[in-house]
Amino acid sequence: MNVDQIMMNLERKHPGEVEYLQAVREVLDSIEDIVNENPQFEAAGIIDRIVEPDRILTFKVPWVDDKGKVNVNLGYRVQFNNAIGPYKGGLRFHPSVNLSILKFLGFEQIFKNSLTTLPMGGGKGGSDFDPKGKSDNEIMRFCQSFMMELHALIGPETDVPAGDIGVGGREIGFLYGMYKKIRKEHTGVLTGKGLNWGGSLIRPEATGFGNVYFAQEMLATRGMSFEGKRVAISGFGNVAWGAALKVAQLGGKVVTISGPDGYIYDETGISGEKIDYMLELRASNNDIVKPYATEFPEAKFFEGKKPWEVKCDVALPCATQNELNEADAKMLVANGCFCVGEGANMPCTPEAIEVFLGNKVLYSPGKASNAGGVATSGLEMSQNSMKYAWSAEEVDQKLHGIMRDIHNQCVKYGTEEDGYVNYMKGANIAGFIKVANAMLDQGIL
Ligand code: NDP
Ligand code: 2IT
């Protein structure tokens, strides 16, 4: 396999799709040796087939705002690969959403879902709709219009969307309600549902919890735990909240959270009511983290800055793609940070990852360490199929087991000669092999 050649062709076919090309390059670099050792993959065109989505659906989403003005957004669903199960992946509502971002997310999702051990293919969708400052009624009308188109593309055995940035429990409720109205059926077509109508306990916490469980496993390889560790978290959304909650439970001290406006530094530690307050901040639809420092005056707000300049042992980037660059990575390492667990999708740039690998930092890629979210979505699908609900303890135990399993897969395929575990390589190889073998079994499709 000639990675440079494949990338050149892709760049020619998809000019400007930088995030998608970045995600593909990372995976191809990791799997190059495995593909070269297994000629059956190239013979069946696995690489050429896996880097292109099965199909991309785009549609317009017209909706009327509270002032009576008609607005039109773009809606997308990228159905990337269903070799091991129905397409599965979140919906992102954010003004930055474009095809490149959804293709990168859908591509990552294939390997992430493969790692979870559950039967789920990869997909992603969303819209350039900006939820910021919108009323609940505006969000409802938007979600209803979005589902008017999306319903024809999805189904519990076909494609099962969920949340991502800008899509949480409220949006899933509006989307599910409209699906039910159009299709006249109550079915597990979306995950992240409310507890009274098919949702799973622990799904809201799952991505953050899973990220911390994975970091716990990484720390354990060096005989360490979260007890007494200083932890820098970015973001203040769903993933950051779950991660902060679990770190605090495990005796770690969360010293930062962040938003698009800057970061909060709280030397007394973010725990208890402060973590509950994160939920209020997120639900306010204002998308700024600054009010935390007014609510808790012992904290300081650093406008326009990222949290990677603070001294910490563990960093958990939980906001968005490419939010941690080479300079940030060097600063973290210089300040003694030895463990980085990606809660967001692709938050570290390739140059930042180089810095971590070069310094033997315990570094986990999002497709491994944030897989707890979609894994628990998979558990929600299982419960929906059984028409039964597990207790929080049962779901949490299964989630914990899955995160340990993913860690083991990364160690199996990512351990280097000196014993250092390259989790990025391990995750990419383990995720790829399962999907590639399924594609081989099923013929040229
Ligand atoms: P939320 O919408 O709950 O929070 C996202 C946070 O990131 C917000 O603070 C948001 O602020 C900020 N953010 C988003 N885009 C940007 C940007 N371009 N620049 C700066 N800040 C930004 O989303 P989640 O917590 O659900 O998602 C966070 C990350 O975790 C994403 O990468 C997502 O793909 C990933 N993820 C989520 C899972 C889930 O189950 N929810 C599962 C696995 C991964 P603002 O909106 O103002 O930009
Ligand atoms: O990036 C992700 O894994 C998610 N946003 C969760 C997807 C899901 O289907 O639960």
For residue 287, what pLDDT is reported?
Answer: 83
| The ligand 1 atom nearest the CA atom of 258 | 9
Residues 294-335 have pLDDT tens digits of 999 999 999 999 999 999 999 999 999 999 999 999 999 999
Two structure tokens written together for 398: 């299964």
Residues 208-241 have pLDDT tens digits of 999 999 999 999 999 999 999 999 999 999 999 9
Q: Sign of the C-alpha dihedral, residues 318, 320, 322, 323?
A: negative
State the Cα–Cα distance between residues 200 and 135, nearest whole angstrom: 27
Spacing, Cα 78 to ligand 2 middle (Å):
13
Nearest ligand to residue 124 Cα: 2
Secondary structure, 3-state, 193-231: CCHHHCCCCCHHHHHHHHHHHHHHHHHHCCCCCCCCCEE
The pTM assigned to this predicted structure is: 0.97
Contact (Cβ atoms closer than 8 angstroms) between residue 26 and residue 366:
no
| The ligand 2 atom nearest the CA atom of 112 | 3
* Count of Cβ atoms closer than 10 Å to residue 37 Cβ: 8
Residues 148-181 have pLDDT tens digits of 999 999 999 999 999 999 999 999 999 999 999 9
In the chain the domains, ranked by start, together with CATH numbers, are 3-186 (3.40.50.10860), 204-364 (3.40.50.720)
Answer whether residue 11 shows pLDDT above 90. yes
Three-class SS state of 412 = helix
Answer whether residue 67 shows pLDDT above 90. yes
For residue 282, what pLDDT is reported?
Answer: 86
Spacing, Cα 77 to ligand 1 middle (Å):
18
Q: Measured from the CB, is residue 163 less than 6 Å from ligand 1? A: yes
Residues 39-56 have pLDDT tens digits of 999 999 999 999 999 999
| The ligand 1 atom nearest the CA atom of 371 | 43
Task: Give the mutation target among 78, 112, 113, 165 for probing the ligand 1 site: most ligand atoms within 8 A of CB.
Answer: 165
The CA-based angle 169-172-174, given to 5 degrees, is: 110
Answer whether residue 283 shows pLDDT above 90. no
Q: Measured from the CB, is residue 238 less than 6 Å from ligand 1? A: yes
Q: Measured from the CB, is residue 319 less than 6 Å from ligand 1? A: yes
For residue 285, what pLDDT is reported?
Answer: 78
Spacing, Cα 162 to ligand 2 middle (Å):
6
Q: Measured from the CB, is residue 162 less than 6 Å from ligand 2? A: yes
- With tokens 């969303």, the residue in question is 126
Answer whether residue 286 shows pLDDT above 90. no
Spacing, Cα 137 to ligand 2 middle (Å):
25
Spacing, Cα 89 to ligand 2 middle (Å):
5
State the Cα–Cα distance between residues 27 and 10, nearest whole angstrom: 14
Which residues are CB-neighbours of 283 under 8 A, at least 6 positions away? Answer: none
Residue closest to 20 by CA, chosen among 46, 59, 52:
52
Task: Give the mutation target among 109, 399, 403 for probing the ligand 2 site: most ligand atoms within 8 A of CB.
Answer: 109
Of all protein residues, the one whose alpha carbon is nearest to atom 7 of ligand 1 is 319
Q: What is the CA radius of gyration of the chain?
A: 21
Residues 234-272 have pLDDT tens digits of 999 999 999 999 999 999 999 999 999 999 999 999 999
| The ligand 1 atom nearest the CA atom of 289 | 9
For residue 380, what pLDDT is reported?
Answer: 98
Q: Measured from the CB, is residue 89 less than 6 Å from ligand 2? A: yes
Residues 18-27 have pLDDT tens digits of 999 999 999 9
Q: Measured from the CB, is residue 377 less than 6 Å from ligand 2? A: yes
User: Average pLDDT, whole number, for the chain?
Assistant: 97
Spacing, Cα 440 to ligand 1 middle (Å):
35
Q: Measured from the CB, is residue 414 less than 6 Å from ligand 1? A: no
For residue 294, what pLDDT is reported?
Answer: 96
Two structure tokens written together for 191: 């995950």
Residues 408-423 have pLDDT tens digits of 999 999 999 999 999 9
Of all protein residues, the one whose alpha carbon is nearest to atom 9 of ligand 2 is 89
Residues 102-145 have pLDDT tens digits of 999 999 999 999 999 999 999 999 999 999 999 999 999 999 99
- With tokens 């030397």, the residue in question is 267
**What's the whole-number mean pLDDT along residues 429-443?**
98
Which residues are CB-neighbours of 96 under 8 A, at least 6 positions away? Answer: 128
Residue closest to 339 by CA, chosen among 358, 318, 356:
356
Report DSSP letters for 106-117, one per residue. Answer: HHHHHHHHHHTT
Give φ, ψ of 140 to 5 degrees: -65, -45
Q: Measured from the CB, is residue 345 less than 6 Å from ligand 2? A: yes
State the Cα–Cα distance between residues 100 and 429, nearest whole angstrom: 23
Q: What band does 429 get if pLDDT is binned at 50, 70 and 90?
A: very high
Q: Measured from the CB, is residue 124 less than 6 Å from ligand 2? A: no
Contact (Cβ atoms closer than 8 angstroms) between residue 41 and residue 35:
yes
Which residues are CB-neighbours of 243 under 8 A, at least 6 positions away? Answer: 207, 208, 209, 211, 212, 233, 316, 318, 343
Q: What band does 385 get if pLDDT is binned at 50, 70 and 90?
A: very high
Task: Give the mutation target among 164, 278, 369 for probing the ligand 1 site: most ligand atoms within 8 A of CB.
Answer: 164
Q: Sign of the C-alpha dihedral, residues 362, 368, 374, 375?
A: negative
Q: What band does 30 get if pLDDT is binned at 50, 70 and 90?
A: very high
Q: Point out the catalytic residue in the list 124, 229, 246, 253.
A: 124
Spacing, Cα 379 to ligand 2 middle (Å):
13
Bridge-based pairing state of the strands 339-341 and 362-364: parallel
Nearest ligand to residue 106 Cα: 2
State the Cα–Cα distance between residues 252 and 430, nearest whole angstrom: 30
Q: What is the percent of the chain where pLDDT is above 90?
A: 99
Verify whether residue 305 is a known catalytic residue. no
| The ligand 1 atom nearest the CA atom of 347 | 32
For residue 364, what pLDDT is reported?
Answer: 98
Answer whether residue 424 shows pLDDT above 90. yes
| The ligand 1 atom nearest the CA atom of 346 | 32
E-strand ranges in 327-385 read 339-341, 362-364
